[in-house]
Structure 1
Amino acid sequence: MNPIDESKRIDTLDYLRGFALMGIILVNILPLLSVKSPDPHSLDAAYQRFLYLLVEGRFYTIFSFLFGVGFYLFISRANQKGKNTTVLFVRRMLALFIFGIIHVQFHPGEALTVYALCGLFILPFYNAPKTVNLVISLPLLIVFAIFSIKLFMTLPLMLLGIAAGQYRIFEGISLPLKKVTIFTVLMFLGSMIGLGYQFQHAPEVLWKGKIEETQRFLDIGIAIGPMVSGFYVGLLLILLRLSFVRRLLSPIKKYGRMALTNYILQTVFILLSGSLFRLFARISYIQSLYLCFVIYVVQFIITIIWIRYFKFGPLEWVWRMVTYREVLPLRGTIKDRQVNV
């Protein structure tokens, strides 16, 4: 069975994946290194509030949405090549589940196993009309957000991604700037109202004092998460219309091309740093930010060099081989390396 020729990458999705990954690590590093709780009225306490206002629950939603978009594109391209889409996709999700099972041994609460299971569940929705997927996903997302059921929000976010794929929002079709701007402004206004309300309930330090206050603060954050994420996505789509922004953010695009590899490597570098420098339960919130910046630089360098010589990231390569059950060439022509997923 020959692999699908994904002859044209959708660069916008790579920018968004890379952007989401950069936000995810800022939160994931906290439990992995058992980051110390900050002292009240400190810079660490201010950064903690920043994380839970603008980062926590904002980037996994983007990643879940993009998973749905990628699901639609994968199935569509398989159909165009006359492949057995069900068999291909089940193998693809099985491989992702195995990656997740291994990863969860080192990173409890990681997302790959959840994505794999949700992926199997949403498979029938590919053939549903786009309006149906939109009508199902939006109310479900709103309900789960209102009740702050973070885990359950993954599914409607993926369905929303499928609907976006069906509407061909990212598939080589430029959305009118006016529509993107209106969407972004609406998300911004909703986010400002929601964040203002959440900030009013922000404790000086999370989990110190009344647990109910912290939980209320976090629940509000989950509820407004999709709006804030929508604003981030809309703003990035507007900025990416500028050529100098695309060039400036080129490393993020490459980072997103190897999203699976870099997601796993984030955990590797965090735990490796913790072991080598004895950071577990000793590092502060601000120090965790500094460490994330170092990991960004290291991963960007590795990614840029790797993409220069190889068609796929290493884990993406393994993932494709399991999907298609054949050994695929890792190296290729410059054109191959520019266009292959």
Structure 2
Amino acid sequence: MSDAVKRLAIRDRIAVLDVLRGLAILLILLMNIPAMGNLESARIDVTGWTAADQMATWLQRVIFAGTQRGMLELLFGAGMLIMASRAMQPDGPVAVADAYYRRNLWLVVFGLAHALLFMWWGEILFPYGLAALLIFQFRTLAPRTLMGIGLVVLLASGHWFGTQQYNARQQLLHDAPAALAIKAEGNPLSDDQSATVKRWEDLQASTKGTGKETQEERTGRTTTLAAFFKWNAKFWMGFTSDLLVLIIFEASATMLIGAALFKWGIIQGKRSARFYLALMLCAYAVAIPMRVIDTQQYMTLALDPRPGWITYQISRLAMTLGHLALVNLAISTGVGRWLLKPFEAAGRLPLSVYFGQSIICLWILFPPYGFGLWGKFGMAGMTAIAVGVIAFQVIVANLWLRWFENGPFEWLWKSLAYAKLQPFRKTPSAIHITAPI
């Protein structure tokens, strides 16, 4: 392996980035487990809507929704600059670009395997690998330019998608009563009116967990492995065909923002505690009111369009920046460093943690060929399960790194990307020494 593309030595890692990555990849389970352990095709939790379920939903939507994805996207941008640090000039070594593209092409392959073989339809490695391929050519731009491009693409695409959602729902609520009245009178419907009635009936059914898609999901997830495999592949392909372009726009734009933050020294803790306090307060002041209002509207379970669809990317980015600032502020204190240190190990094993969550939830806890817990817990119960899985993974990650250099999935990914077997077990020369937090 050439000097230009040597793997980052453990002693050269930026520990605060590992902490941020660890928190993000662990806490993303809080957002994923509702779709792993219950109906995805229903709009509400049909298992129950207790006070505890409502509180868990409220906390999830206000504090966490989209922010762990956002943090990982910011870290992708920072990671691109770290890896390309020897290719920052236009004539930088071609080997760096070659290694970068090979790593992310293999990440795309891992994403496909995660979606289709490990059967997690909501996986993010596939679109993130594609998005990472797009941003490398922006590495030499000034941070202001990176930030400007990222913000414009992120907010414009988010506004467009949210507006489309809002207008479509508003139009449906306007057209459905008239079409339903014509149908009730026994009069023939036009093609447009028939389509309106179908969309309305499907939406109504989704609120009760009685729609055709819901029944297909129940069958796929409560019978056999083959049925689950078939349902998951169909659902993932539909989800991907509908949203892949939008997700790539979101991810690549946020990665550029992450690259700008890295060049400014913000994401890796180089600014003062006062700076992070100000950033945290300002970001939360923007995000929390928007998210509280949207969540309150969501919790009514009404079918009305929500303005939060249009402002989603604004609140998501602001909340993510608030979390980033909070972690960096905490790490600037002795107590904060001590509390956050355990999450660093998970940040060094992100692929193994991420795949591990799918193995635990989709192959052991919830499927009929495992413990068969699918559909038996509401939001509160699934949140409690997620917290337990997260705690287990933190313990395992810290124990693992006492004896091993790489996690199993990191080892396979890096070995494939560099076409050379990478270290697996620790050697005396691979003592865990991290950069100061």
Please report the TM-score for the alignment, with normalisation by the length of structure 1.
Answer: 0.89
SS of equivalent to 1:331:
coil
Cα distance in 1 between the residues matched to 2:427 and 2:278? 41
1:149-188 matches, within 5 Å, as: 151=247, 152-170=249-267, 174-188=270-284
Partner residue in 1 for 2:217: none
Q: Confirm or deny that 1:67 pairs with 2:76.
A: yes
**Are residues 281 and 91 of structure 1, via their aligned partners in 2, closer, same or farther at CA, if it must alter by over 3 Å?**
same
**What is the CA–CA distance in structure 2 between the aligned matches of 1:223 and 1:130, rounded to whole Å?**
20
In structure 2, the partner of 1:119 is: 132
Match of 1:303 among 397, 407, 410: 397
Q: TM-score under structure 2 normalisation? A: 0.70
Q: Does 1:255 align with 2:346?
A: yes
Matches within 5 A, 1:104-253: 104-105=115-116, 106-147=119-160, 151=247, 152-170=249-267, 174-205=270-301, 209-210=302-303, 212-213=304-305, 216-217=307-308, 220-253=311-344
Deviation at 1:200, TM superposition (A): 4.4
Counterpart Cα distance in 1 of 2:253 and 2:325: 19
Is 1:99 the equivalent of 2:102? no
Which of residues 31, 46, 52 in structure 2 aligns to 1:37? 46
Q: Which amino acid aligns with 2:101?
A: V
Q: Match for 2:294: what amino acid?
A: Q
Paired residues for 1:315-330 under 5 Å: 315-330=409-424
For 2:137, the aligned partner's letter is P
Residue number in structure 1 paired with 2:240: none
| Cα separation, 1, equivalents of 2:346 and 2:56 | 25
Identity of aligned residues (%): 22
- Describe the shift of the 1:228–1:116 C-alpha distance in structure 2 as closer, same or farther (beyond 3 A): same
Q: CA deviation at 1:30?
A: 1.1
| CA displacement at 1:218 relative to structure 2 | 5.1
Query: Residue 26 of structure 2 corresponds to which residue in structure 1?
Result: 22
Instruction: Tell me how far 1:340 sits from its aligned partner.
Output: 7.8
Q: Aligned equivalents of 2:383 and 2:292: distance in 1?
A: 24
User: Which residue is 1:273 aligned to?
Assistant: 365
Distance 1:139 1:335, change over 3 A: farther
Unpaired segments ≥5 residues, structure 1: none
Greater mean deviation of Cα atoms: 66-75 or 297-306: 297-306
Select between 285-294 and 194-203 the one with higher mean Cα deviation. Answer: 194-203
Query: Offset at 1:335?
Result: 6.1
> Which structure has the bigger radius of gyration?
2
The range that moved more, 283-292 or 190-199, is 190-199
For 1:2-34, what per-residue CA distance to the aligned partner results, in whole angstroms no more than 9, with x for missing partners?
551523111111111111123210111111222
Residue correspondence of structure 1 range 288-299 to structure 2 within 5 A: 288-299=382-393
Distance 1:73 1:177, change over 3 A: same
- Give the Å deviation of 1:69: 0.7
Structure 1 residue 177, shift from structure 2 partner: 2.1
Instruction: Name the CA shift for 1:79/1:339 in 2 (closer, same or farther; >3 Å).
Output: farther
Q: Which stretch shifts more, 191-200 or 126-135?
A: 191-200
Q: Over aligned residues, Cα RMSD in angstroms?
A: 2.5
SS of the equivalent of 1:47 reads helix
Contact 1:148 1:223 in 2 (8 A): no
Letter matched to residue 175 of structure 1: R
